[in-house]
Amino acid sequence: MAHYQLGLALQEKGNSNQAENEWREAVRLRPTFSQAWQTLGASATRRGDWRALEPIGDQLKRIAPRFAEGYLFHATRALIRRRLGSGSRLESTAADRSQRAIGYVKLGQLRLSQKRWNEAEAFFREGLSEDSNSLEPSKGLVSLHLQRGKRQLRYGLSRRR
């Protein structure tokens, strides 16, 4: 738990690499620590490291089959593989900003289904910042606001009854 918490603190300070090293140490010491595995998966998604998602997803499915994150990470990796092909040259292009947006959208959709509004919004906004031309993060934000029950849009427009 100490390595996990230290990783969170390092992440907050902007030391992503050191944070990930701490989370990896946490799962090495306790391989069934699902929260640390989930954090590693989210970190890999933020970096666009699609290769890391498959083993993380597999481990999460084994140790916490009721949590959706393992399936989400695995599905995201499979989606990238299908979309880009499995050749190493093509696969390396997944680090392209437009491709990283996909992972954020998927995580946002998961959080939306869990009614974890703030986290969903953060993931959709991150997806939009990665690829401002992508329609998917915007659609996610619209869905989020509709599900939250917000009838008034940010631009001062309101729905009349």
Q: What is the DSSP letter of 48?
A: T
CA–CA dist 50, 103 (Å, integer): 9
The domains of the chain, with CATH numbers, are 2-95 (1.25.40.10), 107-161 (no CATH)
CA 72 to chain centre: 9
What is the structure's pLDDT at 80? 66
What pTM value is reported for the model?
A: 0.56
Decide if 51 contacts 57 (C-beta within 8 A).
no
CA proximity to 72, closest of 45, 94, 92, 47: 45
**Closest Cα partner for 46 from 118, 110, 127?**
127
pLDDT in tens, 110-158: 778 778 889 889 888 988 888 888 788 888 898 888 888 754 444 444 4
Chain segment 73-100, per-residue pLDDT in tens: 777 777 666 655 544 433 343 345 555 6
Q: What is the pLDDT of residues 10-25, one digit of tens each?
A: 998 989 899 999 999 9
